[in-house]
Amino acid sequence: MGVHDAMYVLGGKWKIYIITGLLFGPMRYSDLLRNITGISGKVLSRELKEMEINHLINRTVSSTQPVTVTYELTEYGESTKSIIGVLSEWGEDHREMIVKAK
């Protein structure tokens, strides 16, 4: 059930990309939208809401003009760093193996 639960929270096309971006520090919505190639604003909003419900991120609304919304990983969200690291290493190894095979 552990893999099932992890995939429920981290699954989908975009959550890993969002987490990876936020590992470098808090970002505004517009920065996330600009940095994640191919994601639409509607999908980003939905993913961020789901991630907030699952306690992976915090959403902070600043009372500036215009209003600024910032997202950052929670301590719990930071715990995914090791997963992202292993996934990244595997991806690099896979790319190297495929390039050598050509």
Of 48, 72, 54, 53, the closest CA to residue 62 belongs to 72
Tell me what the mean pLDDT of segment 7-11 comes to: 90
Q: What is the per-residue pLDDT across 22-64, written as a single tens digit (0 to 9) for each?
A: 999 999 999 999 999 999 999 999 999 999 999 999 999 998 8
- Residues forming a β-bridge with 28: 70
Q: Domain spanning 2-101: which CATH class is it, in words?
A: mainly alpha
Query: H helices of 1-102, where?
Result: 2-10, 15-22, 29-35, 41-53, 75-78, 81-101
At 72, give phi and psi (nearest 5°). Answer: -145, 155
Amino acid at 67: V
Question: What pLDDT is stored for residue 102 in this prediction?
Answer: 80
pLDDT, residue 64, reads 87
Residue-wise pLDDT for 14-24, tens only, equals 999 999 999 99
Domains in the chain: boundaries: 2-101
